[in-house]
Amino acid sequence: MAVEPVPHLFTVDDYHAMADAGVFAPDARVELIEGAIYERAPIGPPHASSVDRPNMLLAGAAAGRVIIRVQGPVEANRHSEPQPDLTVLAARDDYYGGAHPRPDDILWVIEVSDTTLRFDRRVKLPMYARSGIAEVWIVDVNAATVEVHRRLGPGGYTETIVAHPGDVVSPLALPDVTVAVAAVVG
């Protein structure tokens, strides 16, 4: 009888234990996605500026109502601790000092993609949907677009909007906050 090998999926607790044991270099850029540990690409200038732009826009438009976490970890599920480029969180007095935010804390996630678009669409986006994260924006640096994925259904997000320079988008969680795509993509 043939038996197929079964991959070992790391949990968030395993991932933290490995980090505590020094398995990763202190400056390692890694994240846990669906039980697998992925090295993250270096951040180049186009990527960095495409993170800074929406950060500054949202910090002004939603000041005092949310916490904006830049490239910080979130515990999406038992086997995933991604580090989205921007995570817009429900405001809390402790700023999540006791534990990483979980899906119920996350208003929406923004991933900036210049070299990682395929991975963000095929791996991270479905993981966010399965984790119950209500809305994900993917800033496609090369196409100068913002993909808005929202309205969770059984198979993932049921609404996708591809916004171009000249368009304005608003998150479901803060419909009064309008974001000009041109201001995000530069």
- Kindly report the CATH number assigned to the domain that includes residue 53: 3.90.1570.10
For residue 8, tell me if it sits in a domain: no
For residue 139, tell me if it sits in a domain: yes
For residue 99, tell me if it sits in a domain: yes
For residue 95, tell me if it sits in a domain: yes
Number of structural domains, the chain? 1
pTM of the model: 0.93
Do residues 77 and 142 lie in contact, with contact meaning Cβ atoms separated by under 8 Å?
no
In this structure, how many other beta carbons lie within 10 angstroms of the beta carbon of residue 147? 22
122-125 long-range contacts, Cβ below 8 Å, gap at least 24? 123/33, 123/34, 124/33, 124/82, 125/149, 125/156, 125/157
Structure tokens at 64: 């005092």
For residue 14, tell me if it sits in a domain: no
For residue 152, tell me if it sits in a domain: yes
Instruction: Kindly indicate the confidence band of residue 94, based on its pLDDT and cuts at 50, 70 and 90.
Output: very high
Instruction: Kindly indicate the confidence band of residue 1, based on its pLDDT and cuts at 50, 70 and 90.
Output: confident
Domain that holds residue 67: 43-185
For residue 160, tell me if it sits in a domain: yes
Backbone angles phi, psi at 48, to 5 degrees: -60, -45
Element (H, E) at 112: strand 106-113
| Residue 179: predicted pLDDT | 93
For residue 48, tell me if it sits in a domain: yes
Give mean pLDDT, residues 32-37: 95
